[in-house]
Structures are given as structure tokens and as C-alpha cells.
Amino acid sequence: MNEPLAVEMRLDHMERMTDSTGMIQHAVGPVPDFATGYTSDDNARALIAALGLQSLPECRPWSARLARLADRYLAFLVYAQRPDGRFRNFVGYDRRFLEELGSEDSFGRALWALGETMRTQPNSYYGRVAAAAFERAVPHATGLSFVRAQAFALLGLCAAWEREERRVALEPLIGELVEGLVAAYHRHSGPGWPWFDEALTYSNGVLPAALLRGAVVTGSKEARRIAEEAMDFLTESLIIDGVLQIVGNHGWFPKGGRPALYDQQPVDAGAMVLAYATFWSVLGRPADREAARISFSWFTGRNVEGISLYDPDTGGCKDGLLAGGVNLNQGAESVVAYLLSAYALVKTGLALPSLPEEEVRAVG
């Protein structure tokens, strides 16, 4: 299968879930649930998606719409940033913060989004605003305790590193995060378990993807080897008979145990697409090219239930794959996971975006 896939995309639901503050966290069906407020997590991911799509020539018909969305998401992250550079995560519908300090994961995702903004928009006001927030946040990057937070932050630092003037300052920090993930791997891995923790849980693909990006920057052969071992372990564990079977959140996959099959979450499928697209772009391994496509097709019905989670009528994505069905709600995390997956495939040449005909015609 050498021809690029055509991945269907709409902005309708992303816009539906976004108001003048940012992206609403949850939905009832496709209808935004205002009572759930907002999170830095969702707005960070949405910012990566909006600016990423805006950078694709094929998405030119959406330029103005994506710019409006990116304004909201970047403004939200700036609002959520504390004076010390860290971030709050949960914000009520009344724009009041619901906590004094967000999770490490939310910090890592925010740093990732800021780094990606600096990479994709180096000469725009987006890039300048993101760089100022990034500078306030980056001193905290190497103090993170949890491996996924470290991986999210590492992706942000590696994205910002692509700006040549940032390389000297960022390379030592990237090196520290790479060493942290390598150390976690050595602590927890063993025969039949080449992994960074005592269980496979959520966003698993982010860990080898981030480590591989870090290995490119540092030149570490050990980090590259570990990233490949971990990615191959995910493939062996999660792609069964040509179908992605994500670790379910009702029990996860503990070391020495068996993986839970349900509930499977779109954000975890998206992490697998990101990982395979990263490995394909860096290493060019044919198996990763095919696995990226298999992982994306989880969204459109190539899963253990044979049900599509992507909703072409709304442009949204259902919130989870359950035993015998799906969670019909279409929240922020799910639609962004779908669009980020589509972006990752298009960016790496593994897919072509299929936009609604009326939008393409309107631009001519």
C-alpha cells in the first residue's frame, strides 16, 4: 500500500467546542457541556492541531478559521500560566481557576504546544507570544517526576530546538530529559518487558516518539536503541492481526499481566499514530508506515468492535470504544486526537487531507 490515504477532516466540531475563552472540555453528544469548563490540556493539544493544520498547503481553505482558533488556544495558555512559569489546568466556565497548580502532564503538554508554536510560527506574533511563555516555563522542564510529563516536555523542547538560535540553550535540557527516560527504562524493563514503567497505561506512543526525537538532537545511540525497542514492544502488544487494540483504561496492562481491552480512548490511538509517523519520518522503517495507517484506521472502524468513532456529520469523534459500542459523547480530547492524527499522517506524507467539497470550491 504505497499510495497516500485520504483522511477526511472537518473543523465544524472543533469550532463548536470553542468559545471566546477556549475549548470546552466535554460534550453531551456533539453539544458542548459548558458546566465542564476548560483545561490547559485540551487547549494545548488544540493549539498544536490548529497551527499544524494551518501549516499544511492542502488546508489553505481553512487559514482564517484556523487562525481564529489558534488565537483562542494560545491566549488560554497564556492566561493559565502562573507568574512562576508553571500552569494551572482546570478553569471553570466563569474563567475562574479551579486549582492553584495543574498536573505535571498538563505542564508538559503546555510546553509541547508552545514549542510547536515556536517551530511552526517562528516569525509571527504567535511565535513571539509562545516564546515568552516558553521562557518562563522551561526552567521547570527538568524537574518533572512522571515519564509521560517528561515525554510531552521533551517533544516541546525538541520542537523549539528546530529554531537554530535556540539550540545551544536547549541541548543540555533535552539531554537531561533523554537521560531521565533512559534511566526510567533501565529501572523498569526486563525480559519480555522493554518499557519505561510497571504498566502500559495512557498515551503510550508518546514515550518512544519523544525519546527518538531526543536521540536525534543528542546523537545518543542508546536512546535511539531503547526508543526502537519500546516501539517494537508496543507494536507486538497492541497491533493484533492488523488491528490496533489499545490498552483499555479499565485495568490497563500491568507488567506480568494481561492488557485490558476496554475502554479504549481516542487520545491513546492518536498517540500511536504520532509515534509511528515519527518513526517513519526519522527512520523510514516500512513497518512503521503501515502501522501508522492501521492506527489511524482505528478511528474509522478498523477496531475490535468494527465501529467508526469519527462522525462525518459533525466532524467530531466519539469519546471511547466500549464493549459492544461507543461512548456517544464527542468531547474536546477526542476531536483533537483525530485531527492531530490526521495532521501527523499528512505532515509525513502518509495521507492526503480530504476537505468538504463546498469549502474547497469556496476558495477556488
Q: Report which secondary-structure segment, H or E, holds 311.
A: strand 310-311
The stretch 127-155 carries a mean pLDDT of 97
- Neighbour tally for 324: CB within 10 Å: 8
CA pair distance 327, 115, nearest whole angstrom: 33
Q: How wide is the angle at C-alpha 308 spanned by C-alphas 314 and 320, nearest 5°? A: 85
CA atoms within 13 Å, Cβ hemisphere of 344: 29
The stretch 47-61 carries a mean pLDDT of 94
pLDDT on residue 5: 81
Q: Which amino acid is at 68?
A: R
b/e code 132-168 from CB counts within 10 Å (16+ = b): ebbebbbebbbebeebbbbbbbbbbbbbbbbeeebee
Instruction: Look over the chain and give the mean of its residue pLDDT values, rounded to a whole number.
Output: 95
Give yes or no for a contact between 185 and 222, defined as CB atoms under 8 angstroms apart.
no
Q: Is 290 exposed, middle or buried (0-12, 13-18, 19+ CB in 10 A)?
A: middle
Q: For residue range 143-202, what is the model confidence (pLDDT) as tens digits?
A: 999 999 999 999 999 999 999 899 999 999 999 999 999 999 999 999 999 999 999 999
pLDDT tier at 362, thresholds 50, 70, 90: very low
CA pair distance 229, 235, nearest whole angstrom: 10
DSSP summary character for residue 4: P
Residue 333: alpha-carbon gap to chain centroid: 9
Q: Measure Cα distances from 259 to 137, 184, 262, 323 in Å.
A: 36, 21, 9, 14
CA pair distance 99, 96, nearest whole angstrom: 9
Q: At residue 364, does pLDDT exceed 60?
A: no
Give yes or no for a contact between 82 and 88, defined as CB atoms under 8 angstroms apart.
yes
Domain boundaries of the chain, sorted by first residue = 1-140, 241-352
Task: Specify the 3-state DSSP secondary structure of 58.
Answer: helix
Q: For residue range 266-322, what is the model confidence (pLDDT) as tens digits?
A: 999 999 999 999 999 999 999 999 999 999 999 999 999 999 999 999 999 999 999
Q: Is 187 exposed, middle or buried (0-12, 13-18, 19+ CB in 10 A)?
A: exposed
pLDDT tier at 359, thresholds 50, 70, 90: low
Give yes or no for a contact between 347 and 61, defined as CB atoms under 8 angstroms apart.
no
pLDDT on residue 2: 62
Q: At residue 80, does pLDDT exceed 60?
A: yes
pLDDT on residue 6: 87
- Supply the pTM of this predicted model: 0.96
pLDDT tier at 258, thresholds 50, 70, 90: very high
Q: Is 231 exposed, middle or buried (0-12, 13-18, 19+ CB in 10 A)?
A: buried
The stretch 40-62 carries a mean pLDDT of 95
pLDDT tier at 79, thresholds 50, 70, 90: very high
Q: For residue range 82-116, what is the model confidence (pLDDT) as tens digits?
A: 999 999 999 999 999 999 999 999 999 999 999 99
Q: At residue 361, does pLDDT exceed 70?
A: no
87 contact partners, CB below 8 Å, separation of at least 6 = 40, 77, 80, 81, 101, 102, 106, 107, 110, 137
Q: At residue 363, does pLDDT exceed 50?
A: no
Phi-psi region of 306 (alpha: psi -120 to 50; beta: other; left: phi over 0): left
Pairing label, strands 320-322, 310-311: unpaired
pLDDT on residue 123: 86
Give yes or no for a contact between 65 and 356, defined as CB atoms under 8 angstroms apart.
no
pLDDT tier at 358, thresholds 50, 70, 90: low
Residues counted in the chain: 364
